[in-house]
Amino acid sequence: MVIKAADMLIARRADTRARADFATWRMLAKLNGASALPAEAQGFLVSYKQLLEKMTDADASEATIQLMYKSYYAEMGGAGTAPEIPARSADAPADTGNVTAFRRPPAKPKVAASGPQAKPRLPVALIFACLVVVYVGIRYYWR
């Protein structure tokens, strides 16, 4: 079976959405907010709890995500059956594709104001006085 590029793009988006929604819904259920979720979400959480009785948490989560993925794939307009996307395991590093992890730039060292290479700072009053002298000089010159 040949999978079109557009269908694979839909599959990736559906898988990402399923994983994000499942994590969000599960957290809301832990915070006793499941009643505020849509009916579809509550249905998936009920199926997750049923699967949880039969298998481990990781397997039940992955099975529920796969159900959600197939539902989202059809909802997003994917043609035919949803292509298989490899299951992500908790101990394996996530495939990030071409995404670069955010890294905070290194902190710039703070230079002490009284150090040997510190720039001398002019007080604001001295700068103001110089501007007044220049202004008065220009006014005097034009008269």
pLDDT in tens, 16-70: 888 888 888 888 888 877 777 788 888 888 888 888 888 888 888 888 888 888 8
Rounded Cα–Cα distance for residues 118 and 75 (Å): 63
Please tell me the distance from the alpha carbon of residue 70 to that of residue 124, in angstroms, as a whole number: 67
Residue 65: which of 87, 83, 34 has the closest Cα? 87
Instruction: Give me the pLDDT at residue 4, please.
Output: 65
Distances (CA, A) of 45 to 86, 87, 91: 22, 19, 24
pTM of the model: 0.55
44 exposure class (CB count in 10 Å sphere: 0-12, 13-18, 19+) = buried
Residue bearing the bigger pLDDT, 84 or 27: 27
- Which whole-number Å values give the CA distances from 143 to 110, 137, 138, in the listed order? 49, 10, 9
pLDDT at 95: 52
The chain-wide mean pLDDT, for the chain, equals 77
Question: For residue 80, what pLDDT is reported?
Answer: 67
